[in-house]
Structure 1
């Protein structure tokens, strides 16, 4: 069984085809999908999809792009929303200095609030980071010093130095369709060296479709293509990669029913 550890099933791209998307994922061997929250104000829609499909779980959080426009979340609000059995993580949250769609201070404040909620609840935090490695590493180091928490660097696309920092802090890394792109050789080299027990796979669908679907709508079924490429660069079978990444997911997202 494979797990798509990061998709956005509430996005309009799937509105007219959600049953088909979920069915195709199942036929591709994807047994669990984690649909990620990006807006507190849209959490009811995310949760409704998770309640509708047995194999779909969800998270609650505010994407860094939305940190300047969403009502600021409190730790108490996040903890309350995470009390639902289908809500298994916080985020996605983090820092995005590439697009800078929200003030950086608001991004940092929101990120720390999500980490605090994760620490208190004992649930993982799903971390988005782009062009912010120095600030991200500093916040992770500081917050881990305030008390341990678990988490995942989703759609990992940074270099080996940041990978080393994240792994040292006990975090997991998730490979997306980016690692199948022809220009991603350095990323493949980094992912080939990550301990197998700290790797997950994802689609980030509807974005970042792996080859040969690059440029088209992504969907959870395509996580099998990313997993196959990841298995290839690591020199193991697809079955072994699926077994390891699924075990890692269930260890990290411990609230998910086996």
Structure 2
């Protein structure tokens, strides 16, 4: 039993074989996939995909790259989508100072507004952070994110000290394909030391393909390789790790009441 807590398989990269990608994921043992939006269009696609595919749920939100598009209309539409039964989180949201496709001020405003939306709707949040850890953590703390049902640090790439600061606040740490790379010292340390009840796995498909498939388009079935690598790092059976991480996802996304559906 496996979980991919962060995918984008509604993207055009999968238009020619999306159903087969989903079948391969299920054949690999993936019981739950979270299709994550990053703007209005992708959030709508995420909801549509989740509506029509058992074992897929959706997150809706505006990524920091697109924070400049955040306005009253966007806020109203994301809130409307977030009330759909298939939606389990607001995300992905946060700050990205690497590309700065929106200004830091625009990013912070959209980030805070979407944390507030999650609080109003009692939904967890999925956090994107790149070269902005201190500001992300500051906003999360200032906005009272610890009161949310869950905070998932998507594709965590920080060191163990940074991870501890998140874990001390009850956040979840989600590990992706880079943990399998040769230069993955920080990711491997975090994957080894993270408390089991706070650990999630993901692919971020179509990005960050794990070894040995690096260079190819990523897909949810490859979360098996991520999980197997973490199990080796932790010297534990992959079956136990997979089951535990799946249970973590149920808790993080408030899915306890629909376990039978996603199994």
Structure 2 contact 11–42 (Cα < 8 Å) conserved:
no
Cα deviation for residue 83 of structure 1 reads 1.4
Structure 2 contact 209–216 (Cα < 8 Å) conserved:
yes
Specify the alignment match of 1:138 in structure 2. Answer: 138
Spell out, residue by residue over 1:214-257, the C-alpha distance to the aligned partner (whole angstroms, 9 max, x if none).
11100000000000001111111100110110010001111472
Cα deviation for residue 52 of structure 1 reads 1.6
Spell out, residue by residue over 1:188-212, the C-alpha distance to the aligned partner (whole angstroms, 9 max, x if none).
0122111010000000000011000
Query: Which structure 1 residue ranges, 5 or more long, are not aligned?
Result: none
Structure 2 contact 4–30 (Cα < 8 Å) conserved:
yes
Query: Runs in 1 of length 4+ with deviation above 4 angstroms?
Result: 70-77
Cα deviation for residue 73 of structure 1 reads 6.2
The alignment partner of 1:68 has SS state of helix
Q: Answer with 88-97 or 186-195: which moved more.
A: 186-195
Q: Paired residues, what number?
A: 257
TM-score with structure 2 length normalisation?
0.93
Specify the alignment match of 2:158 in structure 1. Answer: 158
Query: Which structure 2 residue ranges, 5 or more long, are not aligned?
Result: none
Q: Answer with 116-125 or 91-100: which moved more.
A: 116-125
Cα deviation for residue 120 of structure 1 reads 1.9
The alignment partner of 1:90 has SS state of strand
Q: 1:75 to 1:101 in 2, by over 3 A?
A: closer
Structure 2 contact 158–186 (Cα < 8 Å) conserved:
no
Q: Answer with 79-88 or 205-214: which moved more.
A: 79-88
For residues 55 and 104 of structure 1, what CA distance do their matches in structure 2 show?
A: 36
For residues 111 and 212 of structure 1, what CA distance do their matches in structure 2 show?
A: 35
Specify the alignment match of 1:129 in structure 2. Answer: 129
The alignment partner of 2:144 has SS state of helix
1:71-220 alignment, distance < 5 Å = 71=71, 77-144=77-144, 148-149=147-148, 150-220=150-220
Cα deviation for residue 48 of structure 1 reads 1.4
Q: What RMSD in Å do the two structures reach over aligned CA positions? A: 1.6
